Homo-oligomer: A and B are copies of this chain.
Amino acid sequence: MPATPSSVAFQIKLKARFLRGFADLSRLAILEALCTGSLTVTEIMTRTRLSQSNTSNHLACLRECGLVTCCQQGRYVYYQLSDERVVELLALVDALLHDHAPQIAACPHYADAERGDL
């Protein structure tokens, strides 16, 4: 089944990729930080406590998938969300999460599962 650009399969593939932008702890932390406005890479690093190269790699990923945009000013690069609907989406997830949090917290299928902190 080679996915052609217009096929349903291809659309779902794109959607999965897009959602993967949100589905990582580090990238999500970056996106949440950017919800309050634009930040430099260093500011993002300190807020998320990610290493420099890790932050930069994730930002590249988010940039290439169109979730964030950036503009250089002097030696600083400011990043911001590319679309206000990203905030909307995160808010919707929050609302959904509110009702399902206990189940998700208890889900054993994740490597980051920590029974201890519940």
Contacts and interface: CB of A to CB of B under 8 A. Distances in A.
B28 A104 contact: no
A83 B25 CA distance: 24
B28 A15 contact: yes
B15 A97 contact: yes
B117 A14 contact: no
For the residues of A in contact with B, the DSSP-based class is helix
Contacts of A94: 15
Report how many copies the assembly holds.
Answer: 2
B92 A15 contact: no
B109 A61 contact: yes
A71 interface: no
A22 B25 contact: no
A100 B18 contact: yes
A23 B28 CA distance: 13
B12 A25 contact: yes
Contacts of A100: 18, 65-67, 82-83
Given A16-B24, A110-B17, A96 B85 contact: yes
